[in-house]
Amino acid sequence: MIKISRRMKINTLIIIIIIIIIEVTCNILKSTPPSTSVSEKHWISIYPQLGRINASMPILGSSKVGFVAESSKDELLGKITNQYGIRDDILNYILKTIPAENESALFHAIKMAQYTQQMYISNDRETAIKEAESMGASIDCLMDSYGMVNTDNLVVALDKIRDDTPLRLHQERVGEQLMGWQVIKANMTPIDKLCNSGDY
């Protein structure tokens, strides 16, 4: 009869526990949706309305999601931990200002912030103008769902938040060198069709 030492029993038990932990961890990872990042969960835990917006209007997540600031633009953009690729202070202000139940206004405000940011970090005229035209469409849709006065107040407030020295200087350069004397086209799609699709 083979005798199993106490040490061997303990080692075997430790191995079994490790295997169980690995299995449980793998099952947890498999059950987590791959599209939901840690930062996305964090933002949704603070602002549940984001989960509803992402579900009802998936184009918001796909339009600029995954935008990663290049190291040369980090200082320009500021802190970004959200899945929309816009500055955290901008997203916080939008979500604290617009009522949670007005999902349409939240959607168009986030799109506006995305296009505004992309416009200001553009390095070529064509891209900057295209982003400006899309930003104009998002403002039209925001006014339609949030009102003209509320939209104007939001735009002014967000511009004040963005008015930190590195970005302000860059905005001035973009305005003078890329956007000066350029014609910005208006989107002529009927407002209800344009805003319902969110594809502008």
Give the long-range contacts of residues 89-97, CB within 8 A, separation 24 or more.
89/161, 90/117, 90/158, 90/161, 90/162, 91/43, 93/157, 93/158, 93/161, 94/154, 94/158, 95/46, 95/47, 95/49, 95/50, 97/154, 97/157
What pTM, to 2 d.p., does this model score?
0.68
- Of 95, 87, 133, 137, nearest to 113 by C-alpha is 87
Do residues 111 and 165 both lie within one domain? yes
Please check whether residues 137 and 86 belong to one and the same domain. Answer: yes
Residue 107 is predicted with a pLDDT of 92
Q: Is the pLDDT of residue 98 over 90?
A: yes
Which residue from 132, 95, 130, 96 is spatially nearest to 112, judged by alpha carbons?
132
> In terms of domains, do 71 and 109 share one?
yes
Residue 8 has pLDDT above 60, yes or no: yes
Together in a domain, 138 and 73: yes
Rounded mean pLDDT of 83-105? 92
Please determine, for residue 70, whether its predicted confidence score (pLDDT) is greater than 60.
Answer: no
Note the pLDDT of residue 116.
Answer: 85
73 and 4 housed in the same domain: no
Residue 69 sits in the same domain as residue 145: yes
Is pLDDT at 54 greater than 70 in this prediction?
A: yes
Question: Cα separation of 200 and 138, whole Å?
Answer: 7
Q: How many domains does the chain have?
A: 2
Which residues have a Cβ under 8 Å from the Cβ of 49 and sit 6 or more positions away?
95, 100, 101, 103, 106
**End-to-end alpha-carbon separation of the chain, Å?**
79
User: Do 88 and 166 belong to one domain?
Assistant: yes
Same domain, residue pair 78 and 108: yes
The strand ranges marked E within the chain are none
Which position has the higher pLDDT, 24 or 106?
106
pLDDT of residue 149: 93
> Which amino acid, 176?
E
Same domain, 9 and 104: no
Quick: pLDDT tens for 13-32: 777 777 777 776 655 544 44
Residue 91 shares a structural domain with residue 18: no
The confidence score (pLDDT) of residue 99 equals 95
**Could you tell me how many residues make up the chain?**
200
One domain, residues 66 and 153 = yes
Examine the pLDDT at 5 and tell me if it is beyond 50: yes
Q: Are 146 and 155 in contact (CB under 8 A)?
A: no
Residue 55 lies in domain: 37-197
Answer yes or no: are the C-beta atoms of 102 and 150 closer than 8 Å.
Answer: no
Indicate if the pLDDT at residue 152 is higher than 70: yes
53 and 20 in one domain? no
